[in-house]
Amino acid sequence: MGDDARRLGRRARTGGWLAAAAALIAATVALDGTLASQVLYLVVVLGCAVAAWVGLRGRPARPGVVLIALGLSLSSLGDLVWQLLTWLGLEPDVSVADAAYLSGYVALALGLTRMAGCSAGEARARVDGWIDTVVVLVAALLVMWQFSIAATVVDESVPILTRLVWASYPALDAALVALVFRVVVAGHRRDGGALAVAVGAGCWLASDLAYLMRPDPGDAGAMLSAGWMLGAVLLVLATRATTSAGAKVAREGDAGLGRLAVSLGALLVPGSIELVNDLTDGPESPLALYGATLALVLLVFARAARLMTAEARARELVGSRARYSAALAAHSSDAVVVVDRSGRLRSDVSQLAVLLGADPGPDLPVSDLMRHAGLDPAEARTVFERALAAGGAVVSAELARQVAGEERWLGVRLVDLSDDPDVNGVVVHATDVTERKRAEQTLAHQAFHDGLTGLANRALFTDRVEQALRHDARHGDTSAVVYVDLDGFKAVNDNLGHQAGDELLRQVAERLAATVRGGDTLARLGGDEFAILVGQAGTAEEATAAGERVLVALGRPVRIGNQVVTVSGSVGVAVSDPDATSDSLVRDADIAMYAAKAAGRGRVVVFDPGMRAAVVERRELERELQGALAGGELRLVYQPVVELSGSTVVGFEALLRWHSPTLGPIAPDRFVPVAEDLDLIGEIGAWVLREACATAAEWRRRPGMRDLTMAVNVSAVQLASPDLVGQIVEALASSGLPASALVLEVTETALVRDPDAAADRLAALRALGVRLALDDFGTGYSSLSYLRQFTVDILKIDRSFISTIAGAELPPIVRGLIELGRTLDLEIVAEGIELEVQRDQLRAARCDLAQGYLFAAPLEQDEAERFLLGSAPTALGSAPTTLGSAPTTLVDAGA
């Protein structure tokens, strides 16, 4: 708003100034011949000089504008001197006023030259412009010579200095004529500054010529004064409008025809002057006419030669560009043709025929060309009609075509340029986009398929489930999702490497694909999780049957290189209901799969709504367990192992406990499987080993305790881990506990998962010097072959057998287990002794060691220390009440 206001203010001031100048000029003309007229004249011209410099103050001005203001000031000074001499009665032929006048003309000429030199055109065009200017100068000088200069120069009655001064005026006027022409031609048509300069200088020229040719030398005339004053006013406007002169100039050659007409018309000037001389009997100047004619002919010839050279260069440029375009088209994979609105070709079809792989023929119609190229003419016609209806907008399409049984694609862009006289048709740009389309198809396949197995991925599977549910809603059918998670896959990755794991997943995918019906969808959802969409499942039994087929397929061993591995699967099944969504159906199947894992793995479980609470509970348990070790929430308790013959403590079994600040006490049989699934059992097991070994080493330093042992449970997951041996070595080294004082307890279940690997791992552990105990013997496979295959030192009888001892006779199964251990020269440990009769009968059967509530419950570390010192809160031989019911030892806990 501030800039607009300032511009409006300047325009208002300029308008007021022009109105005042116009009034003064009118008054000067009206008062012609009076002193007032002379004074007003001086006021106008001197005021214009002052206004020119005031307008330049504080604004960027170019040299050309400064020279114009200087010329205007010198001319005004000449007017002032001349008028003063006239008032003093002194009217010399030549005076100081003439020096000011001529200097003003020179300054004005230099300013015009400077402005003309600011043309933005090329150097060649500027040379042409100056040639045209010289042509005008020669013609104007000839006219001035004929009608003014010649008579003045040859008049010997006038002093030579006076003649030179008087001749300088028309000569400078001729120069001004040429420079005004140059400024007008080189200037922008809308440049007000250039126009003001031209008109202002023109007013001066007209007044000067009228002054030279006036019939009465003593009379200047009111109109002549008006012309000089008007010229001064316009030159002031030029200095204001062109303070940035040259910034708006146009390129040379904008008025090419007009300039050419002026150059050629100048050749008529000598002949016209000769004609006037003949008609008026004027003085002849043959030498001047010949010289001017020769100069004009040479200048026009130079101009014409340059025009011919420029035309030749333009033709060469056009030809070069045409050859360039032809070369690009010849080696381009695209084709451009023009077709009229009726579908007839208007341009060469060979390029399009090459692109389409068709024989163009001399007069092959477009429809036949498309048909030979494998395109559908009807589809192409539809696209063409869309372009006709688009009204000049670009229409794009991709057309499929069959070439030798192979699908290819043609990309086309059409635009209707029928209204363009240079085109007069529909421009069709065609290119082969087959490679791009194939790349897009590949990317689309990768976006919706698993890169390892080639099966559908989660995104595609979710979309298929949504489609199936929509179909069910319309037809009253049901669908089911069978969720499969591999059991034991992590062990394959850890033991054989990720390449073996990838190969296992590929083979599993092939086996699962063989169990899927044709209309069902098999997907890999990530990791070792797969899912099957059973469409139109009908009943849960049919979906369950699909899950059973999966288990059968996974039950066969898998060969990976030279290794044979066995994996199982936990399968969850969810059947849709009217309210099911794709997310809820997959989630319910996932919940059922977790229930299958919790139930023992290798089985199929159908989703039940009550499972959701268990899943929520497990999720909360997983979240809390993530930070349990770092938060110091885990601890060890120690249950004594006593010698039955003397009831002395010979060792302890370390048991893991967790008390969550949020969930409270959590039993090991709940959180240990979760730790295994979360891959936390290795870290927790290593901590248990360090803590147990450090505690045992500290106790063994006490008097009479140097033979004390510490038993630690090792889960199946730990036994399969290659880190177990290193963790034991580190725990023994950091604590200083002898290897013989550490007892590692493993279960039958942990051994039979991979017997060969388990045998190798047990051999490595025995090589360290640690002792091995077979825990819960008799509750699992109870195969004697395992006792031969796995060399152990201790056989532990499970509490489930000990609890059968209630009378005077020892149950045969217990007696048999004790005798088996003695036959194999194994140390026997009975678990879960709570009654004296159990202790007495086991002692009578010569069982070596025992542990149970009859002797002590699992104790905190300080309680265990007091127990060792004989000050335990519960004396040996009486059943304690601490911790309530029989304790749960850490089975498969890795601790």
pLDDT tens sequence across 162-176 = 778 877 878 887 787
Identity of the residue numbered 252? E
Indicate whether 223 belongs to any domain. yes
Asked whether residue 571 falls in the same domain as residue 668, the answer is no
CA–CA separation, 847 and 822 (whole Å)? 9
Residue that finishes a domain, picked among 254, 286, 302: 254
Indicate whether 301 belongs to any domain. no
Arithmetic mean of pLDDT, 726-736: 93
pLDDT at 323: 77
Identify the CATH number of the domain in which residue 505 sits. 3.30.70.270
Spatial contact of 735 and 741, defined as CB atoms under 8 Å apart: no
Instruction: Indicate the helix (H) or strand (E) that contains 559.
Output: strand 558-560
Start-to-end CA distance of the chain, whole Å, equals 83
Identify the CATH number of the domain in which residue 368 sits. 3.30.450.20
pLDDT at 4: 56
CA–CA separation, 225 and 38 (whole Å)? 9
Identify the CATH number of the domain in which residue 646 sits. 3.20.20.450
pLDDT at 77: 85
With a cut of 70, say whether residue 450 has pLDDT above it: yes
Asked whether residue 523 falls in the same domain as residue 588, the answer is yes
Q: Three-state SS for 315?
A: helix
CA angle 727, 733, 737 (to 5 degrees): 105
Asked whether residue 753 falls in the same domain as residue 775, the answer is yes
Beta strands, E only, 27-164: none
Arithmetic mean of pLDDT, 536-549: 84
CA of residue 652 relative to chain centroid, distance = 63
pLDDT band at 17 (very low <50, low <70, confident <90, very high): low
Indicate whether 317 belongs to any domain. no
Secondary structure letter of residue 251 according to DSSP: P
Asked whether residue 461 falls in the same domain as residue 356, the answer is no
Long-range contacts of 121-126 (CB under 8 A, 24+ apart): 121/186, 121/251, 121/252, 121/253, 122/251, 122/252, 124/306, 124/310, 125/251, 125/252, 125/253, 126/252
Identity of the residue numbered 205? L
Asked whether residue 397 falls in the same domain as residue 501, the answer is no
Q: What region, left, alpha or beta, does residue 664 occupy, with left being phi > 0 and alpha being psi -120 to 50 degrees? A: left
| The most confident of 447-451, 457-461, 614-618, by mean pLDDT | 457-461
Indicate whether 810 belongs to any domain. yes
Q: Find, among 415, 410, 395, the residue nearest to 338 by Cα.
A: 415
Arithmetic mean of pLDDT, 27-42: 78
Asked whether residue 766 falls in the same domain as residue 864, the answer is yes
Domain encompassing residue 802:
629-868
Maximum CA extent, the chain: 173
Q: Find, among 751, 752, 664, 772, the residue nearest to 709 by Cα.
A: 772
Condensed to tens digits (0 to 9), the pLDDT of residues 871-882 reads 444 434 443 333
With a cut of 70, say whether residue 70 has pLDDT above it: yes
Residue that finishes a domain, picked among 410, 436, 462: 436
Spatial contact of 848 and 883, defined as CB atoms under 8 Å apart: no
With a cut of 50, say whether residue 724 has pLDDT above it: yes
Q: Which of 42-51, 321-330, 398-407 has the lowest mean pLDDT?
A: 321-330
Condensed to tens digits (0 to 9), the pLDDT of residues 763-818 reads 888 899 999 998 877 665 545 556 666 788 898 998 889 989 887 788 988 998 89
Spatial contact of 456 and 523, defined as CB atoms under 8 Å apart: yes
Q: Where are the alpha helices (DSSP H) in 599-708?
A: 611-626, 668-677, 681-700
CA–CA separation, 639 and 783 (whole Å)? 28
pLDDT band at 481 (very low <50, low <70, confident <90, very high): very high
pLDDT at 687: 95
pLDDT at 742: 95
| The most confident of 114-123, 357-366, 545-554, by mean pLDDT | 545-554
CB 188: neighbour CB atoms within 10 A? 17
Condensed to tens digits (0 to 9), the pLDDT of residues 357-382 reads 666 555 556 666 666 667 777 787 88
Asked whether residue 231 falls in the same domain as residue 380, the answer is no
| The most confident of 124-138, 179-193, 414-428, 733-747, by mean pLDDT | 733-747
Asked whether residue 362 falls in the same domain as residue 486, the answer is no
Asked whether residue 689 falls in the same domain as residue 743, the answer is yes
Indicate whether 140 belongs to any domain. no
Asked whether residue 232 falls in the same domain as residue 339, the answer is no
Q: Which of 170-179, 517-526, 584-593 has the lowest mean pLDDT?
A: 170-179
pLDDT band at 242 (very low <50, low <70, confident <90, very high): low
With a cut of 60, say whether residue 392 has pLDDT above it: yes
Arithmetic mean of pLDDT, 466-488: 89
pLDDT at 886: 33
pLDDT band at 7 (very low <50, low <70, confident <90, very high): low
CB 592: neighbour CB atoms within 10 A? 25
Total structural domains in the chain? 4
With a cut of 80, say whether residue 388 has pLDDT above it: yes
pLDDT at 220: 56
Asked whether residue 522 falls in the same domain as residue 657, the answer is no
pLDDT at 892: 37
pLDDT at 189: 47
pLDDT band at 738 (very low <50, low <70, confident <90, very high): very high
The strand pair at 563-565 and 558-560 is best described as antiparallel
Spatial contact of 810 and 841, defined as CB atoms under 8 Å apart: yes
pLDDT at 124: 73
φ and ψ of 251, to 5 deg: -75, 150
Indicate whether 789 belongs to any domain. yes
Whole-number Cα distances in Å, 471 to 126, 542, 583, 672: 80, 18, 16, 43
pLDDT band at 491 (very low <50, low <70, confident <90, very high): confident
CA–CA separation, 340 and 424 (whole Å)? 7
Exposure of 591 in the CB half-sphere (CA atoms within 13 A): 22
With a cut of 60, say whether residue 854 has pLDDT above it: yes
pLDDT band at 297 (very low <50, low <70, confident <90, very high): confident
Arithmetic mean of pLDDT, 305-324: 82
pLDDT at 13: 61
Whole-number mean pLDDT of the chain?
79
pLDDT band at 466 (very low <50, low <70, confident <90, very high): very high
pLDDT at 529: 92
CA angle 740, 717, 890 (to 5 degrees): 65
Indicate whether 493 belongs to any domain. yes
C-alpha dihedral sign at 713, 719, 725, 730: negative
CA–CA separation, 34 and 37 (whole Å)? 5
Radius of gyration of the chain (CA): 56
Beta strands, E only, 404-510: 406-417, 425-432, 480-487
Condensed to tens digits (0 to 9), the pLDDT of residues 644-661 reads 987 789 999 999 999 999
Asked whether residue 94 falls in the same domain as residue 200, the answer is yes
Arithmetic mean of pLDDT, 144-152: 74
Residue that finishes a domain, picked among 221, 239, 254: 254
With a cut of 80, say whether residue 305 has pLDDT above it: yes
413, exposed or middle or buried, with CB in 10 Å at 0-12, 13-18, 19+? middle
777, exposed or middle or buried, with CB in 10 Å at 0-12, 13-18, 19+? buried
Indicate whether 199 belongs to any domain. yes
CA–CA separation, 556 and 69 (whole Å)? 106
